[in-house]
């Protein structure tokens, strides 16, 4: 046992295991924590004053978490299932199926994220420009 482990066990007791677990949990899943925080932030703002830009921000943040989980957990599991299902009889279908499940689907998800975030920026910027020029912007509920 190293010096840090001995010091940690003597001074922190069992809490050093919990502290290590929390550090690994946060470092391993920071995109999900970011997604949860952004979804709460944009969800509350969307609930208070619903606008099309806020819907785009919310779905962009939500899809960020979906993309992370897809590339981390879902795609590898589907690839393993494809290998099992296709087996040796349809071995020639493995590579095209892996391309569809992996890079193609990830590209589709990231293109959707880019669309939503770009649309949100466009809507926010166009509202800002209209207010600067003096063109009235229609407010929701008004």
In this prediction, residue 135 carries a pLDDT of 57
Distance CA 100, CA 80 (A): 14
In this prediction, residue 19 carries a pLDDT of 78
Q: Which residues make Cβ contacts (< 8 Å) with residue 65, sequence separation at least 6?
A: 31, 32, 34, 35, 36, 39
In this prediction, residue 58 carries a pLDDT of 95
In this prediction, residue 132 carries a pLDDT of 61
In this prediction, residue 93 carries a pLDDT of 83
Distance CA 104, CA 112 (A): 12
- Residues of the chain with pLDDT below 70 are 1, 16, 127-142
In this prediction, residue 134 carries a pLDDT of 58
Count other C-beta atoms under 10 Å from residue 75's C-beta: 17
In this prediction, residue 126 carries a pLDDT of 81
In this prediction, residue 140 carries a pLDDT of 64
């Amino acid at each position: 046992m190293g010096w840090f482990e001995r010091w940690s066990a003597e001074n922190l007791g069992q809490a050093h295991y919990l502290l290590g677990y929390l550090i690994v949990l946060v470092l391993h899943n920071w995109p999900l924590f970011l997604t949860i925080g952004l979804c709460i932030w944009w969800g509350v703002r969307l609930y208070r004053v619903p606008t099309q830009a806020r819907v785009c921000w919310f779905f962009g943040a939500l899809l960020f978490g979906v993309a992370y989980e897809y590339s981390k957990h879902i795609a590898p599991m589907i690839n393993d299932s494809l290998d099992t299902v296709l087996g040796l009889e349809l071995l020639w279908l493995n590579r095209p199926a892996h391309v569809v499940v992996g890079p193609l689907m990830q590209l589709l998800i990231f293109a959707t994220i880019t669309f939503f975030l770009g649309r949100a920026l466009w809507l926010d910027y166009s509202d800002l420009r209209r207010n600067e020029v003096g063109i009235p912007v229609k407010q929701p509920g008004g």
